[in-house]
Homo-oligomer: A and B are copies of this chain.
Amino acid sequence: MRYLPLTEADRRAMLAKIGVPSIDSLYRDVPERVRLKQPVDLPPHQGEIEVERAILGMARKNLGTGRAPSFLGAGAYRHHVPASVDHLIQRGEFLTSYTPYQPEVSQGTLQALFEFQTQVALITGMEVANASMYDGATACAEAVMMAGRVTRRTRAVLSGGLHPHYRAVTATHARFLGFELDLAEPDPDGAEDLAARIDANTSCVVVQNPGFFGHVRDWTKLGEAARAAGALLIVVVTEPVSLGLVASPGEMGADIVAAEGQGIGNALSFGGPYVGLFATREKYVRQMPGRLAGETVDAYGRRGWVLTLSTREQHIRREKATSNICTNSGLCALAFTIHLALLGEAGFTRLAELNHAKAVQLAERIAAIGKAEIVSDSFFNEFALRLPKPAAEVVEALAERGILGGVPVSRFYPDKPELATLLLVTATETNSDDDMARLAAALREIL
């Protein structure tokens, strides 16, 4: 058993020191009748060769985006992650360390978190950001709960352009915390009027940019309307790369930004682990959920970093904490930070431009087929298509051709027949011209 350093001789010597005859006798506080006498009925230990064979066997039953032209988005985006990112996050000092509670021997993680917080604040255009949440959807729910604390109101308005999972997660919390949600209908055309929904008990309006159906909006006016009514504007971003090209939530007057950071630095990994970004105004920082790294000095006066403002957190404040979150997405945040450090201003904006240009090219190619309508009046790297057939069928037909062609909206809204023909299609820097040509050719056949 390769992970266990104790030898039989060690065990004997240690038991002797303890003064008990066996390991079993250390379990004497466990009621006799619930002590298992045998190992559980599961396979016995195996070596690397066998474990690898079994798990790669499962992997081979999947069609990964590494082997197929892939145009999927809907909140998870395939971007090229530079090899050095994955190398660095696997360094044992990052990978196998705990939350940096002992700052003297955690300056590496702490400084990286401080850089992460700064990067998130910069790209979202906000004043402060925390050290990460689980993912974009949970960050969104936390944002709505925070707006409730800040405004002491209990009703939140959620855009129809908000990702359905974000809506669902927020709704789950609303159910148990007892706040009210005004859920606008799914809004493929981006025509909803959210300002009209704000009332005196509204804590916040939550919009997504670019929206779930692709369109890009300037939410400044809505923010003004919200503020005039004493409510907060929460802007959700599911594709962080868009922030290299699209005006930032901060520029639009957002009070809180809840975003999915996966698109920078992190693999698709079938949906997790991802990294929630959370940013807000300085004045709200004590209502913020999650960890924060802050600057300070050491006993010699040298600059250093610590976790700070932890009186907001569960380990200090317990039932009065701003959130119950403990473990967050540290290593994903690190991957984000390294990737964005590599990109820098020039790389990040170019990456965003490239994504947009690829998507425009793809939209043009598909439009040229003449069978599908581009629903999104504007978009970043993802747009909604209206197809002459149910989108789910088209996606299956594409998969048979080895193409991962997009995400059918019906996957999220199976109960809305009017959305059944909508397909979300994404292009990123990873899509070659050849990929796009293959998709277009296949669509020509299928539609």
Residue on B with the closest CB to A56? B66
A80: CB under 8 A from chain B? yes
Interface stretch, picked from A25-33, A83-91, A401-409, A415-423, is A83-91
Q: How far is the CB of A399 from chain B (nearest CB, A)?
A: 21
* Complex contacts, A53 vs chain B, CB 8 Å: 432
Whether B83 lies near A48 (C-beta < 8 A) is yes
How far, in whole Å, are A199 and B49 apart by their CA atoms in the complex?
50
- Provide the residues of chain B in CB contact with A430, threshold 8 Å: 49
Is B80 in contact with A49, judged by CB distance below 8 angstroms? yes
Interface residues of A in 428-444 (CB under 8 A from B): 429-430, 432
Tell me if A's interface is mostly helix, strand, loop or mixed. Answer: loop
Q: Give Cα distance in the complex from A91 to B92, angstroms.
A: 9
Number of A interface residues, CB 8 Å?
16
Can you tell how many copies of this chain the complex includes? 2
Expressed in whole angstroms, the Cα–Cα distance for A429 and B53 within the complex equals 13
* Contact between A82 and B48, CB atoms less than 8 A apart: yes
Q: What is the chain B residue whose CB lies nearest that of A88? A: B92
Interfacial chain B residues near A49, Cβ < 8 Å: 80, 429-430
Least distance between A371 CB and chain B CB atoms (Å): 30
Question: How near does chain B come to A25, taking the closest CB pair, in angstroms?
Answer: 28
Tell me which residues from 75 to 125 in chain A have a Cβ below 8 Å from any Cβ of chain B: 80, 82-83, 87, 90-92
From B2, B47, B80, give the contact of A48 (CB < 8 A): B80
Question: Shortest Cβ distance from A205 into chain B, in angstroms?
Answer: 39
Q: How far is the CA of A430 from the CA of B49 in the complex (A)?
A: 7
**What mask results when residues 46 to 65 of chain A are scored 1 for a CB within 8 Å of chain B, else 0?**
01110001000000000000
- The CA-CA distance from A87 to B2 in the complex, in Å, is 17
Q: Mark A329-364, 1 if CB is under 8 A from B, else 0.
A: 000000000000010000000000000000000000
Q: Determine how close the nearest CB of chain B comes to the CB of A66; give it in whole angstroms.
A: 9
- Seed contacts A2-B342, A91-B92; 10 additional CB < 8 Å A-B pairs: A47-B80, A48-B80, A48-B82, A48-B83, A49-B80, A49-B429, A49-B430, A53-B432, A87-B90, A91-B91
Cβ contacts A to B, 12 pairs, < 8 Å: A2-B342, A47-B80, A48-B80, A48-B82, A48-B83, A49-B80, A49-B429, A49-B430, A53-B432, A87-B90, A91-B91, A91-B92
